[in-house]
Amino acid sequence: MQYILQPDVLTNGAITRILENTWKNNFEINPKDLVKIHEALLESHVFDEIAESIYFPMDNPMGTEEKLLDGLKIAMGAAPNNKNNQVRLFDKPGIILKDGIYGAAFGKYQYIYRCKGMRIYWFSTGEIEYHTVNATIDENGFSYYSENLDGWNVFNDEIEDFSSSPMEEGLGNGKILISNLIGIKASFSRDYALEYLLLPPDVEKISTFSIQVREEIWNSVIELMKELALNSNEEKNDFLKYVLDYIDSINIPPAAYHIISLFDFYRENQSSINQNEFLKLFSLIREQSQPTPDQIAKVDFNGLIHKLDTIEAGHDSANQYHDLIFEGLNGIFHQSLKRGKKEVNQHEGRKRIDIVFDNFDTEGFFGHIRDRHKIFCPKIFIECKNYSKDPKNPEIDQLIGRLGETTGKFGILVCRKIDDIELLLKRCKDTMNRDRKYILFFDDNDIKTLLTLKSDMNEEGIINYLFDKWDRLVLDS
């Protein structure tokens, strides 16, 4: 197969092939490319000790002088005397490919601190494992443990569709994998048990492997830009814009030497370069090299309200409606819902979800129903119906079918209008009582209200509005 991008050196072309395949809507990762990435990880020496469980009791308090003396011994290279007793490591070194830890100090003062979430580990032996993680700090000390829920082996297992499994967070498609690979942290000496959970700023650094992945992607992009400056090609131009949009979305700016190399290329090839094409290409890279404002500043909430009124109900305008709802919800919930995606395949492509967000909320509505109501909702599923009539059982059943044990049990149905609110509410209550799956519904007026509240920066108003919806669902059921 012919590829446009120059192969990256670090993984012998695996990263650039995976990136280019996503442009071709081929999200299945070749196992051979995963093996090459694994080999590059080994050669980069990023695999390090990973804690499986920790218990650090507070039953033997030390005086200040003793603490200082122990600290000096450790600084001079001596291992902490009690580390082996308190930290249980996995039997092989690894990296955290995906860190989904979130903190929540709750429980009516039962804890000083508590956090939970998930982590996906990539081990030196080739296993990639999804673990749930829990940690607490209370009067008894610090406790941390993880539990393996899913796994896959680079060398032994057949490639599969990860979109309906916990592994989707790490290997769901090429974009997800690359976004994880660029954020691997550098290894360091963990002198405190808590550093297996939280990284202090002085040691939270990107690994040389991830730095090189970022540079290799830009090296290939720069080479493509040079090629296009000499010989313009519509297909390659489209691909270049796709790649630049993607690396901007995962915040990989070009290094200074990338910009300099383009200037050097221009100076050496002035007679052969199409000046207008080069200026267009250079304007693209200038956008990538400048600091980008917060995404929320790019959303015209009042404009979306006006545009919503102009979109007609019906099949012909379904895509317009879908795009508007995605942009609106992405802006409204940008602090709590991340990595939004449209038209996500599920169950080997047999089902497709209109919109999916990852739930990163810690203080708002989505965090509250997860932490206080114990609703399993790592992902938020949204179905958009551009119908002129009320949604009926088939629409509810469709969203119910998207929810599950591994993906989440909370969804939102967005539609144009609802004449019989009580009937639709009864259907959602029946779903909650029968299947323990939770569905809220929004119509045009709801979306306009949320957009207006966001435009006014009334975050508390948004939270209260969502809780009013929630109370109608869960009370008197």
Distance CA 11, CA 128 (A): 18
Distance CA 475, CA 477 (A): 5
Q: Look at residue 6 and tell me if it is in a domain.
A: no
> Are 115 and 223 members of one domain?
no
> Are 60 and 164 members of one domain?
yes
**Residue 417 pLDDT > 60, yes or no?**
yes
> Are 189 and 285 members of one domain?
no
> Are 200 and 254 members of one domain?
no
> Are 227 and 268 members of one domain?
yes
Q: What is the DSSP letter of 155?
A: T
| Average pLDDT for 466-477 | 84
Q: Look at residue 39 and tell me if it is in a domain.
A: no
Distance CA 175, CA 161 (A): 14
> Are 86 and 176 members of one domain?
yes
Q: What is the pLDDT of residue 285?
A: 67
Least confident of 57-66, 131-140, 366-375: 57-66
Q: What is the pLDDT of residue 65?
A: 67
What's the Cα-to-Cα distance from 130 to each of 162, 171, 220, 302, rounded to whole Å?
A: 12, 11, 32, 42
Residue 344: which of 161, 170, 180, 101 has the closest Cα? 161
Q: Look at residue 431 and tell me if it is in a domain.
A: yes
Answer with the residue of higher pLDDT: 419 or 395: 419
> Are 260 and 174 members of one domain?
no
> Are 324 and 399 members of one domain?
yes
Q: What is the pLDDT of residue 164?
A: 62
**Residue 438 pLDDT > 80, yes or no?**
yes
Answer with the residue of higher pLDDT: 276 or 178: 178
| Average pLDDT for 295-320 | 80
Listed residues 238, 267, 289: the one ending a domain = 289
Least confident of 63-72, 141-150, 278-287: 63-72
Torsion from C-alpha of 292, 261, 36, 165, nearest 10 degrees: 10
Number of domains into which the chain is organized: 3
Distance CA 443, CA 435 (A): 24
**316-373 pLDDT, tens per residue?**
888 888 889 988 998 899 888 887 777 765 544 445 788 888 888 877 899 888 888 8
Q: Look at residue 37 and tell me if it is in a domain.
A: no
Cα radius of gyration rounded to whole Å, the chain: 25
Q: What is the pLDDT of residue 199?
A: 79
What's the Cα-to-Cα distance from 281 to each of 6, 183, 273, 288, 460, rounded to whole Å?
A: 17, 27, 12, 11, 43
Listed residues 236, 266, 289: the one ending a domain = 289
Q: What is the pLDDT of residue 443?
A: 92
> Are 83 and 216 members of one domain?
no
pLDDT-based confidence at residue 293 (cuts at 50, 70, 90)? very low
Q: Which domain holds residue 308?
A: 297-474
**Residue 80 pLDDT > 90, yes or no?**
no
Q: Look at residue 30 and tell me if it is in a domain.
A: no
Least confident of 245-249, 272-276, 342-346, 403-407: 342-346
> Are 72 and 117 members of one domain?
yes
Contact (CB, 8 A) for 104 and 93: no
DSSP 389-403: S---HHHHHHHHHH-
Q: Look at residue 353 and tell me if it is in a domain.
A: yes
Q: Look at residue 202 and tell me if it is in a domain.
A: yes
Q: Look at residue 29 and tell me if it is in a domain.
A: no
**157-213 pLDDT, tens per residue?**
676 666 666 777 777 778 888 999 999 998 888 877 788 888 777 777 889 899 999
> Are 331 and 466 members of one domain?
yes
**14-49 pLDDT, tens per residue?**
999 999 998 888 878 888 999 999 999 999 999 999
Answer with the residue of higher pLDDT: 62 or 330: 330
> Are 144 and 167 members of one domain?
yes
